[in-house]
Amino acid sequence: MPNKKRPTVFITRKLPESVETRMCELFDTELNIEDTARSQHELVEAMKTFDVLVPTVTDRIDAAMIEQAGDNLKLIANFGNGVDNIDIDAAARKGITVTNTPNVLNEDTADMTMALILAVPRRLAQGANVLMGDGVWNGWSPTWMLGHRIWGKRLGIVGMGRIGTAVARRAKAFGLSIHYHNRNRVDPVTEEDLEATFWESLDQMLARVDIVSVNCPSTPATFHLLSARRLDLLRPEAYIVNTARGGIIDEAALIKNLQEDKIAGAGLDVFEHEPAVNPKLVKLAQSGRVVILPHMGSATIEGRIDMGDKVIINIRTLFDGHRPPDRVLPGQL
């Protein structure tokens, strides 16, 4: 009996070596050795001939590109949890399955969220820069580099899904009081365990908390969810942390409120116009009002390997004639 044809797989960016090796063992795989971002033209050409496209969150796969896909393209196996970079509706119309890599980055992202919750009020980046910069440290002083304690403060979580819940568990251990806004209330056992307060009104929660953590998915409904009007609801002593997607916050309005001392500070791992970072945010970071990171929330070796394993499982499952476990349907997220 002849061997079953191996799926052809096009990977848009360099992945962990162990993941690439396994993919080459299982599929006819084209790697991106140089890790340079693929152009739109290169992506379209790949979609015309390959069976599987493995993009990342930085590859925008829109309806026009999907329309040009060849009949061979059966799967877009996104290397990432979010799928806001892919037109899911257009893929469904074309009969192309879309998958993602959920639930492997929850703890990593929650770790980074907690790190920023600590870093901004306690001025960690500022303190580190003193020792690494040109300034001279004259030693400890009772009134120098004073920040704010987080113990006893109220944390407002926007989006109490798996990541938001993981953040809440960490924050509770640090003595924060947990408040949250979500489309649906979490189950009573989780709510009781976290001693969490549910707010049906996002506006009412924002006006009452000391730290806001953005952990909701990026969808059309959450674009600029934290609008200029909602950012104005925050108290001058409040901090905001975002490890989800930059577009959930109106970045221009956030910058304006920081400049005008309407909020105390921000910790940002994501930006509205990535990879571009607004120079005004950089300036605020240099002054110590903001901690900015280059989208590192999920950047662990373990997490990236787990993501690759999920991509492989999704590919194998589809081409074995079954429904992939991480299939994303229109309107699902």
| DSSP conformation class of 4 | P
Phi/psi zone of residue 37: left (φ > 0), alpha (ψ -120 to 50 degrees), beta? beta
Beta carbons within 10 angstroms of residue 262's beta carbon = 16
212 has which bridge partners? 156, 240
The C-alpha atoms of residue 11 and residue 32 are separated, in whole angstroms, by 6
The C-alpha atoms of residue 161 and residue 217 are separated, in whole angstroms, by 9
Closest Cα partner for 330 from 132, 98, 173? 98
Active-site residue, 195 included: no
DSSP string for residues in 225-244 = SB-HHHHTTS-TT-EEEE-S
157 has which bridge partners? 180, 213
| Catalytic residue (one of 245, 251, 289, 304) | 245
| Catalytic residue (one of 20, 30, 42, 274) | 274
Active-site residue, 30 included: no
| Catalytic residue (one of 22, 38, 123, 295) | 295
Q: Give the chain's largest Cα–Cα span.
A: 80
Cα 177 to the center of its chain, rounded Å: 24
Active-site residue, 295 included: yes
Residues 6 or more apart whose Cβ sits within 8 Å of residue 252: 228
Give yes or no for a contact between 56 and 12, defined as CB atoms under 8 angstroms apart.
Answer: yes
The catalytic residue positions are 245, 274, 295
